[in-house]
Structure 1
Amino acid sequence: MSSLLELITQPLSFPFMQRALLAAMVSGMVCAILSCYLVLKGWSLMGDAISHAVLPGVVLAWVAGAPIVVGAFASGLLCSVFTGYIKENCRIKEDTVMGIVFSGMFAIGLVLFARIETDQHLSHILFGNVLGISNAELWQCLIISLIVTLVMLVKRKDMLLYCFDPAQARVIGLRVKWLHYGLLCMLALTIVAALQAIGIVLVIAMLITPGITAFMLCRRFNTMLICAVLTSLFSSVVGTLASFWLDAATGPCIVLVQASLFLLAWLITAIKGPNKKPA
């Protein structure tokens, strides 16, 4: 028992580990909330698209001397709006459009990064550097996560109806277009909040795995939200502590724990039988 307690308390004796754990938990919580809506809406690839599309915005913001969060948000939002515009004005399906747009913007970001000399290391942007997060970056993460969480909870019922049945939402008088772009804005902000903790490449796992794990285990949406948040918080704590003792990257450790929980949920549903769609 004492050795188990030491495994938890010893890493937390370091200030950088305290900041890392808090950032991972906050990022994981807001990603889990949004992941439930993305899973129900079928927007898994949209999260992947925006997460990759923020790279050119990050590089250009650094060149202009602007906050990276501003460039990342603007670039992600541009990707989502551009995707919607192309989809509405041609016969190509949405998933195909997203694949073209995000790969193109990610390629632009890589070219810009290769051509512009910076003191930023590419791996920190791609895979995160939660152990090196500063107090200012931590506050940025906390504020953005709080804003997204409050908006998603306040508009929970409207967003839920929009994700389930946009036609019904339009019939009862909801502004579907505002909900559509509002969800995209919240997605872009969430990716910005998680950027420092887990990076561009791994954020898609944080945005999808908690939601799909909860989807397999729960029958009601409220229960699904709680389950997703709890699995994400557990993964953030275990993954961060494991990265300290294993001397491994924190982001991948968190994602591996989430993947393990998903496999466990899959085994449970395989034994008990599949759940119905959450209501």
Structure 2
Amino acid sequence: MEKQKMNFVAIDFETATFDRMACQVGMTIVREGEIVDTFEMLIQPPGNYYDFSTIKVHHITPEMTENAPTFDKVWEDISDLIIGQVVVAHNAQFDEDVLYRNLNRYQISTQGIFPFLCTYKLYGHKLTDLCKMFDIECPEHHDAANDSRCCAEIFLKFLNKVQPNNLMEKGTKVEKDKKYFASKFSKHSQISGDLKQKDLTNADPNNPFYDKKVVITGVFNMDRNEMAARLKDMGADINGSISRKTNFVVVGEDAGPSKLQKIDTLKSQGYNIVVLHQDDIDKIFNGEWDDYLMKDEN
């Protein structure tokens, strides 16, 4: 069978924060059906800020990126590989969202960027499982260069109609795990119990949520569990219901009417409950929190 000679770039991002500010990009360049280069670049996220739990995934730290270029500078080096080009990613919805969020953060035009192709959608399995099925070496999962190369190799297998070994069938543990996590991290999902356990260990005591009781209600432009994890990293005590001791209520679209009524009732009784919306959360997560520091305790 004649080998497919397609040109494309495989991309992978690692992120520093739950709002998907990038800290590393990996790219693998394919020309005429052959991998010609793989590289990675560290990226300094805004303020060089990291959510602690993201570090545990990829092991990239603020110390590693304190002298790295910010995304706008990195874009100058990689934009020619993306604009007007075929770009492939594994779970492309995530990597495409990372790209657009970072471009928007620096007010950079997105014109000319084509929708990403997705190797996850081709097979419905996670990257490491596909590497096992295709006998592809994957020594450093969550290293952006490694993952981009693996993605490129998987897409080349697909283009050349190479069948994987021992393709997992639907209903396997992998598929069940995928459905579980899709449900768990839905925008409408309930916040899991471990996120409701306050932890001040790594939190900055100068941020608005430090040791404050916070309730989240409604739908946002990020997963509710991601938001709760981000707030927990900042020292918030995530609660499921509003009470006289509540400090902040984060209100999104389709917020619970009973919660909104409870806010009005308690505020009319003189309790200092601060209502935040998506714009407020975006500002605070970007470090613009001076206007949100509470002067009085409930």
TM-score by length of 1: 0.26
- Larger RCO (alpha carbons 8 Å, 6+ apart): 1
**The structure with more strand, counted as a fraction of residues:** 2
TM-score by length of 2: 0.24
Which entry has the higher C-alpha Rg, 1 or 2?
2
